[in-house]
Amino acid sequence: MNTIEFLLSRRSVSVKLITEPGPDDEALDRILRIATRVPDHGKLTPWRIQVLRKDGQARLGDFLAGRFTARHPDANEKQVAFERDRPQRAPLLLVVTAKVRKQHKIPELEQILSGGAVCHNILLAALAEGWAANWITEWPAYDDEVVRLLGHDPETDRILGFLYLGTAAEAPDERPRPELSDVVSRWPQTA
């Protein structure tokens, strides 16, 4: 399949369908090298990537279970177990965080978009290599205590995504895509 065909058929795999095995160190290194080849105005590298294998996923899961219980004291055991399992749904979890330099000539939005491009490149690289992949944020990305646990400053840093990588248990179904006429316009409009 050529690059254009790949991009026209690209499909994330539901995290529920991602299973073992995950990328080994060599495959992960290729994915990460591709991930960092993004637009980066000012060469700031305003993002960081954390690799969580099973031990890190379990530690994060325990923290999420406790954090969820603290935020939702009426939570039942099934809900708490789901939160504990949340970061452990795939063999490999990557966390991408924006490390924005405030008061810099490069606008903050451009720095965040560069981090978003890192997430997208991870997704594309993993899928192109034949792995299953999904980019999700969910509530932990917006929780200051989760940001701190991962070693970041919630005053300046934002989690841009949790990227789950592994093997697809089954091929993903196609999903509806927007009609170009609904999302693309010409400017100025011609008669």
Interatomic CA distance for residues 179 and 177, integer angstroms = 7
Residue 55 in any domain: the answer is no
- pLDDT confidence of 103, banded at 50, 70, 90? confident
Residues making up the chain, counted from first to last: 191
- Residue 1 — very low, low, confident or very high, per pLDDT cuts 50/70/90? confident
CATH number, residue 156: 3.40.109.10
The answer to whether 97 touches 48, Cβ cutoff 8 Å, is yes
In which domain, by residue range, is 43 found? 13-48+91-167
Q: Quick check: is 98 in a domain? A: yes
* C-alpha span between 177 and 27 (Å, rounded): 30
43 part of a folded domain: yes
Q: Is the peptide bond before 73 cis (omega within 30 degrees of 0)?
A: no
How many angstroms separate the Cα of 46 from the Cα of each of 28, 103, 116, 126, 137?
21, 13, 11, 22, 18
* Inside any domain, residue 66: no
Residue 184 belongs to a domain: no
Instruction: Classify residue 132: in a domain, yes or no.
Output: yes
In a domain, 25, yes or no: yes
Max CA separation in the chain (angstroms): 61
User: Which pLDDT does position 56 carry in this prediction?
Assistant: 98
Per residue in 108-145, pLDDT (tens digit) is 999 999 999 999 999 999 999 999 999 999 999 999 99
Residue 191 pLDDT: 64
Residue 31 has pLDDT above 80, yes or no: yes
The predicted pLDDT at position 189 comes to: 83
Tokens 């970061």 locate to: 87
Residues 6+ apart with CB under 8 A from 92: 22, 23, 28, 51, 52, 53, 164, 165, 166
- Residues 6 or more apart whose Cβ sits within 8 Å of residue 160: 47, 96, 97, 98, 112, 115, 116, 118, 119, 137, 141
Strand partners, 95: 50, 162
Q: What proportion of the chain, given as a percentage, has pLDDT over 90?
A: 93
Q: Within a domain: residue 83?
A: no
pLDDT of residue 83: 98
Q: Which residue has the tokens 């406790």?
A: 66
Number of folded domains that form the chain: 1
The tens digit of pLDDT for each residue in 154-190 reads 999 999 999 999 999 998 888 899 999 999 999 998 7
Check residue 183 and give its pLDDT: 95
Residue pair 56/49 in contact (Cβ under 8 Å)? The answer is: no
Chain centroid to CA 172: 18
Alpha carbon of 124 to those of 8, 91, 109, 118, 145: distances in Å? 12, 18, 22, 10, 30
